[in-house]
Structure 1
């Protein structure tokens, strides 16, 4: 990491900032109004410089704990949704008041994973966010915990922030947490050292990261590393730091951990397929097919398939796995699940001769496939 790379932050026109529940609540679980105003102050200053900021916030469930008299974060889905229903209004009201002091309007955008799965929903969310930014409004994004189920939720707002960063074409992503960056081990453990920069996956080898985040949050360092991987592999640099250092991060100062870009901007469709799509089944590949897929230039043919699991229709997302069950790629399958067992392991020439044209097509075309595991050197 060079100073020049860090300095890009000061020039970034559009930035997504994500803040977690632990940074927005006090020890008693109530919203920390001072933290909300402090963040609004920094974002408003950035806005006055002519830049744009999209805020992804947690805290709706945490904000509903105290008004409902709950002892802590709800453990069951219905209780959590009730807390979110009460807390979301309180949370956005606090943000509205904080930004109003700077003459800024905020716009609430509630998303579920379904909004990235269905193209119509995705495009509508994109248009809404773009229009809010054009109007000079600060978009405040949160997962719609009130209606999201376990099957259609992002699970944490770190991942949501990475996907939103790609959706709005952000120049950078800042993840705010209660730990000032990534450490070689748990920050409280003796010998753990802070990591100033991460240039790629190899820099994370040997790093000990386990456990959930705070008692009021759903994320942890693992989800932040996942979010950083999603963003950087799509051409978006990431800074992981504390709310106290957000102004410094925006100014390009050496605070927290800098995650350098590892890949180029990719299509929103491929990003969805890699990180947001809900897969419907798995297709097991032989060693030759694994090598061909990881080579990045080959489609998956019936001859390279050794097994099928799950129930899916043609066009559904599926995971492609090797013989050991490791996920190699994701793709949009061209056959229904009940069609595949009769054709796997067979050449397209034999299938065409026996079954006719149409059955000699690719199981997953290379244009509908995205790698999950990088090819090894």
Structure 2
């Protein structure tokens, strides 16, 4: 998996906004509340406005992928459901109906501009396996070459809790990284990031986020009635994308015109080139399926979190699961916290006999690291 574009450091948020305004490959995410009515069903008037704004940006020589939520909410009206379903079977039934309706309305809306759309439904399992992730890349690239608008959504019809991205904000961040996007635009019903609920008269607007220090006093809320992700999920997704080298603009769908033309609204999230993850490490940390768990002691935890060194058997206290050489494993610290992931170099059956031993005490053929530093990544370096 490759991601050859180099992240740029911007001196001011105005510089970053100019970059986003001129970006030639972007991912735009719309939330459920932006495409559906409060009473249920698709808000076609709003969708027509969005497609007009998106078409204008594409006509300006921009490749664009749209991540559209709303399948479950859209399916509620045809099924006469007044309240968002809570049980998995009914959610997936609503998604099955809603995905058809949502795709049909997007298709009709873009057809006004002789623009074809494509529905791309993904599960976390699709991005979690390298060959399948590469296939997603190839498919999305080809759709863009054919001047088609890929409409991406999580495949709620078949996804279970183990194979979910969690919300479409995170999905959008992962898609943006997969296609080496120049920018990610997250649109919802809030015009940007505030340090508390924006309905509070004391709330302060935050125009830019450079690091976690800018979020120290921020209290983000949960999703609305029809959605699954709130401001907390959007901030998490924005930081995730930025860590992978993709700058982010977070604002409201009502300001889509400004977001797509000048990026002069909302909150921008800066990338930090010096802390950017490689494509492989991003995939291993945030997309890959973990096939097992390695539990490590405090000394090994320091090695993993500081980076630059390999994980050796002496620092491992226990392992869980059955895995093979080349699989991705989760690394758990001494307090039960997830601290990283890596590509293991031993079978679980082989590694079991090596736990806690010094490398010098092992046979010659077992003296390679459990996880080499080049294939070891940690969650410690936060934006």
- TM-score, normalized by length of structure 1? 0.93
5 Å matches for 1:111-190?
111-190=122-201
Query: Residue 49 of structure 1 corresponds to which residue in structure 2?
Result: 60
SS of 1:342 mapped into structure 2? coil
**What's the CA shift string for 1:73-112, capped at 9, x where partnerless?**
1111111111111111110111111111122111111111
Q: Is 1:256 the counterpart of 2:266 in the alignment?
A: yes
Q: Distance in 2 between matches of 1:253 and 1:144?
A: 30
Query: Residue 296 of structure 1 corresponds to which residue in structure 2?
Result: 307
Asked whether the 8 Å contact 2:13–2:268 carries over to 1, the reply is no
Q: CA deviation at 1:285?
A: 2.3
Q: Extract unaligned runs of 5+ from structure 2.
A: 1-11
Q: CA deviation at 1:138?
A: 1.1
Asked whether the 8 Å contact 1:20–1:58 carries over to 2, the reply is yes
Q: Identify the range of structure 1 (169-178 vs 240-249) with the bigger mean alpha-carbon deviation.
A: 240-249
Q: Identify the range of structure 1 (3-12 vs 301-310) with the bigger mean alpha-carbon deviation.
A: 301-310
Q: CA deviation at 1:311?
A: 4.2
- Alignment match of 1:329 (pick from 320, 330, 340): 340
Q: Is 1:233 the counterpart of 2:243 in the alignment?
A: yes
Asked whether the 8 Å contact 2:196–2:219 carries over to 1, the reply is yes
Asked whether the 8 Å contact 2:293–2:329 carries over to 1, the reply is yes
Q: Distance in 1 between matches of 2:302 and 2:129?
A: 31
Q: Identify the range of structure 1 (250-259 vs 95-104) with the bigger mean alpha-carbon deviation.
A: 250-259
Query: Residue 64 of structure 1 corresponds to which residue in structure 2?
Result: 75
- Alignment match of 2:256 (pick from 237, 243, 246): 246
Q: Distance in 1 between matches of 2:301 and 2:238?
A: 26
5 Å matches for 1:17-32?
17-32=28-43
5 Å matches for 1:31-42?
31-42=42-53
SS of 2:151 mapped into structure 1? strand
Q: 1:375 to 1:186 in 2, by over 3 A?
A: closer
**What's the CA shift string for 1:124-174, capped at 9, x where partnerless?**
211111111111111111111112122111121101100110111110000
Q: CA deviation at 1:187?
A: 1.8
Q: CA deviation at 1:58?
A: 0.5
**What's the CA shift string for 1:14-35, capped at 9, x where partnerless?**
1100001011111112211111
Query: Residue 98 of structure 2 corresponds to which residue in structure 1?
Result: 87
Q: Identify the range of structure 1 (291-300 vs 162-171) with the bigger mean alpha-carbon deviation.
A: 291-300
**What's the CA shift string for 1:287-346, capped at 9, x where partnerless?**
322222233211100112223344434333222232222222111222344444432221
Q: Is 1:368 the counterpart of 2:375 in the alignment?
A: yes
- Alignment match of 2:358 (pick from 347, 369, 372): 347
Q: Distance in 1 between matches of 2:98 and 2:29?
A: 18
**What's the CA shift string for 1:221-264, capped at 9, x where partnerless?**
12111211111011111011011212212223431111111246
SS of 2:170 mapped into structure 1? helix
TM-align CA RMSD? 1.9
- Alignment match of 2:325 (pick from 314, 325, 336): 314
Query: Residue 195 of structure 1 corresponds to which residue in structure 2?
Result: 206
Q: Distance in 2 between matches of 1:186 and 1:243?
A: 18
Q: Is 1:7 the counterpart of 2:14 in the alignment?
A: no
**What's the CA shift string for 1:344-370, capped at 9, x where partnerless?**
221111012xxxx33222111112211
Query: Residue 358 of structure 1 corresponds to which residue in structure 2?
Result: 365
Q: Identify the range of structure 1 (333-342 vs 229-238) with the bigger mean alpha-carbon deviation.
A: 333-342
Q: Distance in 2 between matches of 1:358 and 1:146?
A: 47
SS of 1:151 mapped into structure 2? helix
Asked whether the 8 Å contact 2:42–2:74 carries over to 1, the reply is yes
Q: CA deviation at 1:281?
A: 3.4
Q: Identify the range of structure 1 (109-118 vs 332-341) with the bigger mean alpha-carbon deviation.
A: 332-341
Q: Extract unaligned runs of 5+ from structure 1.
A: none
